[in-house]
Amino acid sequence: MSIKLDGVRKAFGARVVLDGIDLEVHEGETVAVIGASGAGKSVLLKTIVGLLEPDAGRVTVDGLVVAELRRDELYDLRRRVGYVFQFAALFDSMNVFDNVAMGLRRITGMGEDAIAQRVRDSLSRVDLSGFETRLPGQLSGGQRKRVGLARAIATGPKYLLYDEPTTGLDPVTTAVIDDLIQRMARDLSVTSIVITHDMKSAFRVADRIAMLHHGRILFTGTPAETQATRDPVVRAFVEGRFDLVGTEVS
Amino acid sequence: MSQGWTGPIAWVGRSALDTAAVFGRFGNFTGALGRALPDARTWGRLVIVQMARLGVESLPIALFIAAFTGIVLSLQASYTLTGAIPTYFVGTLVGKTIILELGPVLTGLALAGRVGANIAAEIGTMRVTEQIDALETLAYDPMSYLAVPRVLAGLVMFPVVVVFADAIGILGGWITAINLLDLSTPEFVRGLRIFFDPFDVRFSLIKAASFGLAVTSIGCFYGFMTTGGAQAVGRATTQAVVVSAMLILVLDAFWAVVLL
């Protein structure tokens, strides 16, 4: 089973953000989607879980066309998809334990003991054992992102979607998060999409890299192919050189 | 390019369209609220929490306002009722005015500020920090989780708060009457009972329930509609309070026309 986008188009008023996206992420694969700020990377991710509905085209997850699902079917699908938000999106009023337990409490028949065990396991996977009683306001940026990841993996998803997981983090914490993404893919055998504009991260975690540019997938390739490509826009992004394409990238 | 004389017409047109759009969005919101009602598994235990937050925690401000309203009403009634009108009518005026009008309306307006602003700011902040999207990804319907418990709590707790406010308002009027005016307790109670009709209490409770529904649903609506950042949360909060206050006054007139 995989994630597949066929001709996905999304506009906000006159501004076309996604203009016919075709992308397939195969089972067990980690694909990094790179692109400039405002290129529509987060919009792309939100269409996959049905937070945004495409104006045209089709998003298929686990063999199901997202836009055609009834609300209960959509929620059923979302239980199979973990979503890590850019700024973690932790619930301010809840401690770490309750944040991670939120998704588990939707699973019928799961008792409090089983939930507590799963929360401890998930926190342990992101190296945050013992943080259960802390409030989100008492955590650093990196810790918040790790709690967000623990919350996403707690329900045992088949798919993990990361929205800029390393944005705003120092290089060491970025490496920690990258390592976690790799561990999740390896240990949990999940299919992942990582939205990022951090090329080091993309090279570290991805099996394939796709570049989103002007609403379309401009390029897809392995990290080695990405580094070797002659495409000026991709090279400009990879090397951080606007002189290759002027200001076109941003 | 100058719009000349068409400018005001264009402004009226734009305003009309914007207003129609808000009504449309509110219609969608109430539809979604209705569809979320059967999901009691999600909102069931949260209603109790919201009843405490919206109702019990609002009691101090509501009772403070009611007590001073009762004091002032008692003094103003005594000032107004001079000459041939018996002084025990102070009790009548205090009771009728508090129960029929000032108890529910002043409590409603105070809670529009406290509860409406709180709801709009909380949900608005959750919207702009993607916490509502996070709820969705965890398979929670945000309407069931956030809106329904607040609206139901408002519907139930506003009348409860108003009952206490009515009682404290009358108590304030009574204490003032026996201490500052030449009125005895039996006289005040006589005035209170002489035109008392149990319907007055029902009228007060109906108004309070409708105010609770209005304040909480408007607060939730503006919270959910928030887009942007901190400034947008502030704007949503202000709009929620202003619209709730206006709606309270409109509903006040509506119930007077329909029920009295």
pLDDT digit string, tens, across residues A183-232: 888 888 899 999 998 898 999 999 999 999 999 999 999 999 999 998 98
pLDDT tens-place values along chain B, 260 residues long = 556 778 888 999 999 998 999 999 999 999 999 999 999 989 999 999 999 999 999 999 999 999 999 999 999 998 888 777 888 899 999 999 999 999 999 999 999 999 999 999 999 999 999 999 999 999 999 999 999 999 999 999 999 999 999 999 999 999 999 999 888 999 999 999 998 899 999 999 999 999 999 999 999 999 999 998 899 999 999 999 999 999 999 999 999 999 98
E strands, A87-182, where? 159-163
pLDDT digit string, tens, across residues B192-203: 999 889 999 999
**B134 to A83: CB separation less than 8 angstroms, yes or no:** yes
Q: With beta carbons under 8 A apart, name residues in chain B contacting A50.
A: 136
Among candidates A46, A50, A89 on the partner chain, residue whose Cβ is nearest the Cβ of B131: A89
Q: How far is B258 from chain A (nearest CA, A)?
A: 40
- Residue B244 pLDDT: 96
Q: Quote the mean pLDDT of chain B.
A: 93
Q: How far apart are CA A219 and CA A231, in angstroms?
A: 8
Q: How far apart are CA B129 and CA B123, in angstroms?
A: 10
**B131 to A51: CB separation less than 8 angstroms, yes or no:** no
Q: How far is B224 from chain A (nearest CA, A)?
A: 14
**A86 to B131: CB separation less than 8 angstroms, yes or no:** no
User: For B141, which residue in chain A has the nearest alpha carbon?
Assistant: A75
Q: How far apart are CA B207 and CA B66, in angstroms?
A: 16
Q: Is the dihedral of CA B207, B210, B212, B216 positive or negative?
A: negative
**A85 to B140: CB separation less than 8 angstroms, yes or no:** no
Q: How far apart are CA B99 and CA A234, in angstroms?
A: 72
Is residue A151 within 8 angstroms of chain B, CB to CB?
Answer: yes
DSSP helix/strand/coil, B43: helix
Among candidates B131, B136, B141 on the partner chain, residue whose Cβ is nearest the Cβ of A91: B131
**A51 to B129: CB separation less than 8 angstroms, yes or no:** no
- Short-list B92, B110, B106, CA closest to B200: B92
pLDDT tens-place values along chain A, 250 residues long = 689 999 999 999 899 999 999 999 999 999 999 988 888 999 999 999 999 999 999 999 999 999 999 999 999 999 999 999 999 999 999 999 999 999 999 877 789 999 999 999 999 988 899 999 999 999 998 899 999 999 999 999 999 999 998 888 888 888 888 998 998 888 888 999 999 988 989 999 999 999 999 999 999 999 999 999 989 888 888 888 766 555 444 4
Is residue A228 within 8 angstroms of chain B, CB to CB?
Answer: no
Q: How far apart are CA A86 and CA A94, in angstroms?
A: 19
- Residue B147 pLDDT: 97
Q: Report pTM.
A: 0.89
Class of domain A3-244: alpha beta
**B133 to A51: CB separation less than 8 angstroms, yes or no:** yes
- Residue A248 pLDDT: 46
Among candidates A71, A85, A151 on the partner chain, residue whose Cβ is nearest the Cβ of B130: A85
- Residue A217 φ/ψ, nearest 5 degrees: -80, 110
Q: How far is B55 from chain A (nearest CA, A)?
A: 19
Q: How far is B128 from chain A (nearest CA, A)?
A: 10
**Which class for A135: exposed (0-12), middle (13-18), buried (19 or more C-beta within 10 A)?**
middle
Among candidates A71, A85, A155 on the partner chain, residue whose Cβ is nearest the Cβ of B134: A85
Q: How far is B42 from chain A (nearest CA, A)?
A: 9
pLDDT digit string, tens, across residues B48-80: 999 999 999 999 999 999 999 999 999 999 888
**A78 to B134: CB separation less than 8 angstroms, yes or no:** no
Q: With beta carbons under 8 A apart, name residues in chain A contacting B131.
A: 89-92
**B138 to A76: CB separation less than 8 angstroms, yes or no:** no
Domain residue ranges in chain A: 3-244
- Residue A213 φ/ψ, nearest 5 degrees: -145, 125
So what's the ipTM on this one?
A: 0.90
**B134 to A89: CB separation less than 8 angstroms, yes or no:** yes
- Short-list B103, B80, B87, CA closest to B188: B87
